[in-house]
Chains A and B, each alone.
Chain A
Amino acid sequence: MAFDPETAARLAAGIGMGLATIGPGIGIGLLTGRTSEAIARQPEASGDIRTAFIIGLALAEALALYAFVIAIILLFVA
């Protein structure tokens, strides 16, 4: 059974999106773990730690969102 381009694009969007969430998932998990460790160790510095955490979170999350945009392009434009 041969793929027509539309089916291929939909498959690529789904599989790509699933694969793209792996890396940021691991990254955000590590980040959250280390942040709670750091806050537990030094509760008085929790404000600074939280700021750094949110910046890191945003940067890690952006990777999955790039894939999300590509998936949308594949679904609706390609």
Chain B
Amino acid sequence: MLAEDSANKIVESLHELNVQRIVEIPKVGPFDFSISNVVIYMWVSAFLVFIFFFVVARRLRKEPDGLQTWAEILLNFATGHLTGQIGEKGKKYYYLILTLFCYIMLTNLIGLIPKPIPLKGYTPTANINVTFGLAMVVFFVTQYQGFSRHGVRGYMGSWLAPPGLPKALAPVLSAILFLVHFMGEFFKPLSLSVRLFGNTIAGHLIILVMLGLMLQYASAIVIIPAGLFVVIMLLFEVFVAFIQAYIFSILSVVYIESAIYAGH
């Protein structure tokens, strides 16, 4: 009985990770276009990012006030490494990288705010579909850059063995290197998405399991250490939310740079 009960309390607290449909839309083939709480929170964070930068852009001044200072700090932080890594050619990626950084950070932070049950709280980045979608954007930008700058021949050619090798060795090495590079291109979005998803969901799982333990064993011996742990973990999660957004944007820059300067 006790074991069953404890499982129930902990499983109940994990229900925050469930996707709940809010507006039902009939399925079209295998695709489900229903509006769920994931989509709602994605819209909320996208809207907040848009409003923030819209307001800041409308009132740009020579002497920045508080809001503009924050926006400039964000811009410098998210894209400061961009010109350092890519150089002048990277200028047009300011928008993409800044958007990715702000959007991911805001979705992570929104998930950390405790919400009452009717709001159906959810962290969009704790869903692998969302993170994989973000990573696919970076993947397509990278491949487009590679193919449009170097042509199919030049870009694929940069995956082969470098010139100047002995004639007998070159074809074998080229075949191996081509396979490695080809798979590597597909593993890049995979590792990007899994990293963000794993970090977010791992923190949430730990916090929720601790909360479930506190609800189940309502005694001081459990509640005090578990409560302290939850508080410390929440603070750490704020840090993780920030650092993961930074890692996502900086790795996107590294991948895009590798396509722009393919073969160097």
Which residues of A pack against B, CB within 8 Å? Answer: 51, 54-55, 57-58, 61-62, 65-66, 68-69, 72
Contact = CB atoms under 8 A, between A and B. Distances in A.
A65 B81 CA distance: 26
Contacts of A55: 247, 250-251, 254
Contact of A58 (B81, B197, B251): B251
A62 B194 contact: yes
B59 to A, nearest CB: 31
Secondary structure of the A side of the interface?
A: helix
Q: Is the interface of B mostly helix, strand, loop or mixed?
A: helix
Q: Which 4 A-B pairs have the closest CB atoms?
A: A65-B198, A58-B247, A62-B195, A68-B198
B195 A58 contact: yes
Interface of B: 81, 191, 194-195, 197-199, 201-202, 243, 246-247, 250-251, 254
7 contacts: A51-B250, A58-B195, A58-B247, A61-B199, A65-B195, A68-B202, A69-B194
Contact of B198 (A51, A57, A69): A69
Contacts of A66: 194, 198
Contacts of B246: 54
Contacts of A62: 191, 194-195, 198
B194 A65 contact: yes
Contact of A65 (B199, B243, B250, B251): B199
A61 B195 contact: yes
A54 B195 contact: no
Nearest to A67: B198
B198 A54 contact: no
Contacts of B194: 62, 65-66, 69
Contacts of B201: 72
Given A61-B199, A65-B198, A66-B194, 16 more contacts: A51-B250, A54-B243, A54-B246, A54-B247, A54-B250, A55-B247, A55-B251, A57-B247, A62-B195, A62-B198, A65-B194, A65-B195, A65-B197, A69-B197, A69-B198, A72-B201
A65 B240 CA distance: 14
Interface centre among A54, A55, A65, A72 (most CB of B within 10 A): A65
A6 to B, nearest CB: 13
Contacts of B247: 54-55, 57-58
A47 B174 CA distance: 37
B252 to A, nearest CB: 12
Nearest to B205: A72
